């Protein structure tokens, strides 16, 4: 009996030690700064806290009850534009007012270069956050013909896609980005089916840690831009598997040729053209496992050929000492600092700029709306909202993100839904997809006059110098 008792005591001690060890490893390190501190044009950057096991904070989805809705900012109202939509991600408004929605989720994939432990943990986290449901692989059409703010028509355009996300339309062509390819379909506005075989425009690196492939056409419809995220956190699976990833590609639709347009972007998502400068902007999800305060996701412009530093550098000049891959020569000198921090781990996804006719009120009339999908690796949780970033008359972001739609996150750490994408409907209201609530929300300022279009900023070209005379560094004028 004494031996058996000692064995039992030993087993209990082992269980307690293992439990304590597990708690210690998974306890996480709370943030020192508020989310507001780590947002804006000059965010506070904490000292990196390298973590083998990341801080984990999962918001378990509980769904919306009948009659419940997110909380809009003062002066705004929200209603259900469509519900019972299976895992809606990207929302795209066609020129005729019809709304397309990609019903999608991740394909089968390997995370972090194939490490079994990483994949096991990732699978658990995705499941706990409600993100492990099978991908519906559809694009559906929603139509609000009577203009009452709710779609009365719903049609499945296509149901044989592969984790679709990005959508674009121009001149009889509908473009859809699967996780592994960009496709072009013949499509006439108003049609409720999408028949025929598509033309493949470009193969894309499949799946990986980040599977969404957003796209946007340039204003004249001649080029297509495709965002592809990384396969890993910091290249820990080797940089060979990152070929073609962590960048935005440009496809010339006339020639079919593609080229990298902007690189060093760990996971670019929303894509939109600035109405002030006609420059491409994007939202980017930054790296993990440096603590709850690092690294801020961001909103930034994408000049052609830009380098944003992933995986070696973050926020312009901060070296990530964890990266094993050799850093290209000169990287420190030409890595660009992002324009605007959205907060660490908030998962900034959908992006739209204000344009002529939006009805969100004068206070929200000139800037950008961003859907922050919400953190899984920060304590306390962050994101789970839609925010507005004001821009000045020259097209520069300013201030701090302003809450527009909240109430997705409950006080007990559960979540009713997760905002994913944003788009304008034909009435000037903002549509917001909620991929775990399975709802498309519609936000508007009742009675508000349509906002004017932002004024395009233009400068006079410099007079070219034709002779090397005088001081070459003197100011040049007209």
One pLDDT digit (tens) per residue for the chain, 478 residues? 666 665 666 555 454 444 434 434 455 689 999 999 999 999 999 999 999 888 888 899 999 999 999 999 999 999 999 999 999 999 999 999 999 999 999 998 666 555 545 555 555 555 555 556 799 999 999 999 999 999 999 999 999 999 999 999 999 999 999 999 999 999 999 999 999 999 999 999 999 999 999 999 999 999 999 999 999 999 999 999 999 999 999 999 999 999 999 999 999 999 999 999 999 999 999 999 999 999 999 999 999 999 999 999 999 999 999 999 999 999 999 999 999 999 999 999 999 999 999 999 999 999 999 999 999 999 999 999 999 999 999 999 999 999 999 999 999 999 999 999 999 999 999 999 999 999 999 999 999 999 999 999 877 766 766 666 666 555 655 4
Asked if the structure places residue 463 within a domain, the reply is no
Asked if the structure places residue 8 within a domain, the reply is yes
Q: Is the peptide bond between 254 and the residue preceding it cis, with omega within 30 degrees of 0? A: no
Query: What is the pLDDT at residue 47?
Result: 96
The number of beta carbons lying within 10 Å of the beta carbon of residue 136 is 21
Is the domain of 352 the same as that of 421?
A: yes
Query: What is the pLDDT at residue 22?
Result: 44
- For residue 401, with 0-12 CB atoms within 10 Å meaning exposed, 13-18 middle and 19 or more buried, which class applies? buried
The whole domain housing 303 covers: 54-444
Q: Residue 18: enclosing H or E segment and its boundaries? A: helix 2-26
CATH code at position 414: 2.120.10.30
Q: What is the distance between the alpha carbons of residues 210 and 375, in angstroms, rounded to a whole number?
A: 15
Is the domain of 24 the same as that of 87?
A: no
Is the domain of 23 the same as that of 64?
A: no
Query: What is the pLDDT at residue 458?
Result: 79
Is the domain of 10 the same as that of 104?
A: no
Is the domain of 259 the same as that of 387?
A: yes
- Give the tokens for residue 31: 């943030």
Query: What is the pLDDT at residue 426?
Result: 95
- Give the tokens for residue 116: 């079994």
Is the domain of 108 the same as that of 14?
A: no
DSSP letters for 98-127: -EEEEE----S---TTT-HHHHHHHHHHHH
CB 163 within 8 A of CB 211: yes
CB 398 within 8 A of CB 392: yes
Is the domain of 136 the same as that of 17?
A: no
Is the domain of 230 the same as that of 267?
A: yes
Closest CA to 177 of 164, 195, 187: 164
Asked if the structure places residue 465 within a domain, the reply is no
Q: What is the pTM of this model?
A: 0.90
Q: What is the distance between the alpha carbons of residues 381 and 398, in angstroms, rounded to a whole number?
A: 24
| Domain tally, the chain | 2
Asked if the structure places residue 453 within a domain, the reply is no
Q: What is the distance between the alpha carbons of residues 407 and 308, in angstroms, rounded to a whole number?
A: 33
Asked if the structure places residue 386 within a domain, the reply is yes
Is the domain of 12 the same as that of 106?
A: no
- For residue 336, with 0-12 CB atoms within 10 Å meaning exposed, 13-18 middle and 19 or more buried, which class applies? middle
Asked if the structure places residue 451 within a domain, the reply is no
Is the domain of 20 the same as that of 141?
A: no
Query: What is the pLDDT at residue 402?
Result: 98
Asked if the structure places residue 227 within a domain, the reply is yes
Asked if the structure places residue 45 within a domain, the reply is no
Query: What is the pLDDT at residue 108?
Result: 85
Is the domain of 140 the same as that of 13?
A: no
* Overall residue count recorded for the chain in this entry: 478
Residue 304: alpha-carbon gap to chain centroid: 20
Is the domain of 60 the same as that of 25?
A: no
């Amino acid at each position: 009996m004494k031996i058996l008792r000692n064995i039992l005591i030993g087993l209990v001690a082992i269980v307690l030690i293992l439990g304590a060890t597990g708690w210690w490893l998974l306890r996480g390190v709370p943030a020192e700064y508020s989310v507001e501190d780590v947002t804006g044009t000059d965010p506070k950057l904490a000292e990196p806290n390298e973590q083998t096991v990341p801080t984990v904070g999962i918001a378990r989805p509980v769904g919306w009850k009948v009659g419940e809705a997110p909380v809009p900012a003062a002066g705004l109202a929200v209603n259900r534009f469509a519900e019972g939509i299976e895992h809606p991600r990207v929302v795209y408004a066609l020129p005729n007012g019809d709304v397309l929605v990609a019903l999608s989720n991740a394909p089968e994939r390997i995370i972090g270069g194939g490490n079994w432990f990483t994949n096991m943990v990732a699978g658990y986290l995705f499941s706990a956050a409600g993100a492990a449901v099978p991908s519906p692989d559809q694009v559906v059409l929603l139509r609000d013909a009577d203009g009452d703010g709710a779609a009365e028509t719903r049609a499945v355009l296509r149901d044989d896609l592969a984790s679709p996300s990005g959508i674009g339309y121009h001149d009889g062509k509908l473009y859809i980005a699967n996780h592994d390819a960009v496709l072009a379909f013949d499509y006439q506005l108003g049609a409720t089916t999408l028949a025929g075989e598509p033309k493949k425009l470009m193969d894309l690196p499949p799946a990986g840690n980040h599977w969404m492939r957003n796209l946007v056409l340039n204003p004249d419809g001649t080029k297509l831009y495709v965002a592809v995220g990384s396969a890993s956190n910091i290249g820990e699976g080797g940089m060979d598997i990152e070929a073609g990833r962590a960048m935005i590609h440009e496809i010339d639709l006339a020639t079919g040729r593609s080229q990298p347009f902007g690189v060093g972007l760990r996971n670019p998502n929303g894509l939109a053209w600035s109405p002030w400068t006609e420059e491409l902007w994007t939202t980017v999800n930054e790296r993990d496992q440096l603590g709850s305060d690092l690294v801020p996701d961001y909103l930034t412009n994408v000049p052609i050929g830009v380098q944003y530093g992933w995986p070696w550098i973050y926020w312009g000049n901060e070296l990530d000492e964890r990266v094993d891959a050799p850093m290209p020569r000169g990287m420190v000198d030409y890595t660009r600092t992002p324009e605007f921090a959205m907060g660490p781990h908030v998962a900034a996804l959908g992006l739209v700029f204000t344009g002529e006719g939006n009805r969100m009120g004068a206070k929200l009339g000139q800037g950008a709306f961003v859907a922050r999908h919400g953190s899984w690796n920060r304590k306390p949780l962050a994101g789970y909202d839609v925010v507005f970033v004001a821009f000045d008359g020259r097209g520069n972001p300013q201030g701090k993100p302003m809450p527009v739609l909240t109430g997705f996150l409950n006080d007990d750490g559960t979540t009713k839904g997760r905002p994913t994408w944003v788009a304008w409907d034909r009435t000037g209201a903002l549509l917001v997809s909620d991929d775990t609530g399975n709802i498309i929300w519609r936000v508007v300022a009742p009675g508000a006059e349509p906002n004017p279009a932002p004024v395009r900023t233009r400068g006079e070209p410099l007079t070219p110098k034709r002779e090397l005379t005088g001081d070459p560094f003197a100011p040049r004028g007209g």
